[in-house]
Amino acid sequence: MNGLFSECKVLYVDHLAVTTSDFETTLQDYLSLDGSRLLKGPGVNIGQRVRYAFVQLQNGCTVEVLAPEEKSPIAKHVLQGGGPYHFCYAVRDIEQSIAVAENRGAKLVSQPIADVAFDGRRVAFLCHEAHGVFEFVEAYPQSKMVNNALKPSDPPFQPVEIITDTLSEDTDIEGALQRVFSKVFPRIEISTLFDAAMDKSEEWDSLAQIQLVMELESEFSINVQSDQIENLTTYLAILHHLREEL
């Protein structure tokens, strides 16, 4: 019988996630290792309620540092001491991989959802008695895969002093955007924001879209051009637009 991950058609180990109650110290400890570099972050993932950063070690392995925000699903693990939390495996067809894993006894903990930490690629968490909690993430297209699926545009190492400013800026943008969505779409839950889209929500109609644009212009002091409105129909698209504009 083939192994679980072979049957799930895992392409490679994307990263190992570790949890901590002291985000800055833990991140600095990994960055202090010879040959390590910051790949992505720090940032705040509102959907998962965590702070995150990705560090590539000298041997090419990637570590995701996670710290809990309020009501975070990793809070219990942190209270138990933190440390290694789960492996994440890249797959080409996440639905198919989940189906195979479930057939082999795994339980689906969370449905596939677009994740800002992975540039909108979908992730899903599962649990298996032989492996504990593990994660599937959609792999980048082959044309963008470089060294464990890292894109050429991934940022080089940055000192932690600069990182703190980046974290604050990203947090301000996402927090303000969350407030706008809560005001315009009160029935959309915060935990599902990164999957929010005009074609998936009954309350996100053409009238609500106009109201949303007006609130965005007011909140962020920007001017949304008429030819841009038709492209701002998902939460992730709006977040990306704001990061480019601000």
Sorted by where each begins, the domain ranges of the chain are: 4-158, 165-245
Strand partners, 101: none
Q: How is the beta sheet containing 122-128 ordered, strand by strand?
A: 37-45, 50-56, 62-68, 10-19, 83-91, 132-138, 122-128, 107-114
Superfamily (CATH H level) for 4-158: 2,3-Dihydroxybiphenyl 1,2-Dioxygenase, domain 1 (3.10.180.10)
Residue 136 contacts residue 126 (beta carbons within 8 Å): yes
Residue 86 contacts residue 17 (beta carbons within 8 Å): yes
User: Tens-digit pLDDT profile for the chain (246 aa)?
Assistant: 579 999 999 999 999 999 999 999 999 999 999 999 998 888 888 878 899 999 999 888 999 999 998 888 899 999 999 999 999 999 999 999 999 999 999 999 989 988 888 888 899 999 999 999 999 999 987 644 444 444 433 433 333 333 344 434 555 788 888 889 888 888 887 667 777 888 888 889 888 888 898 889 888 999 888 888 888 998 888 988 888 888
Which CATH code for domain 165-245? 1.10.1200.10
From 36, 72, 68, select the one nearest 54 (Cα to Cα): 36
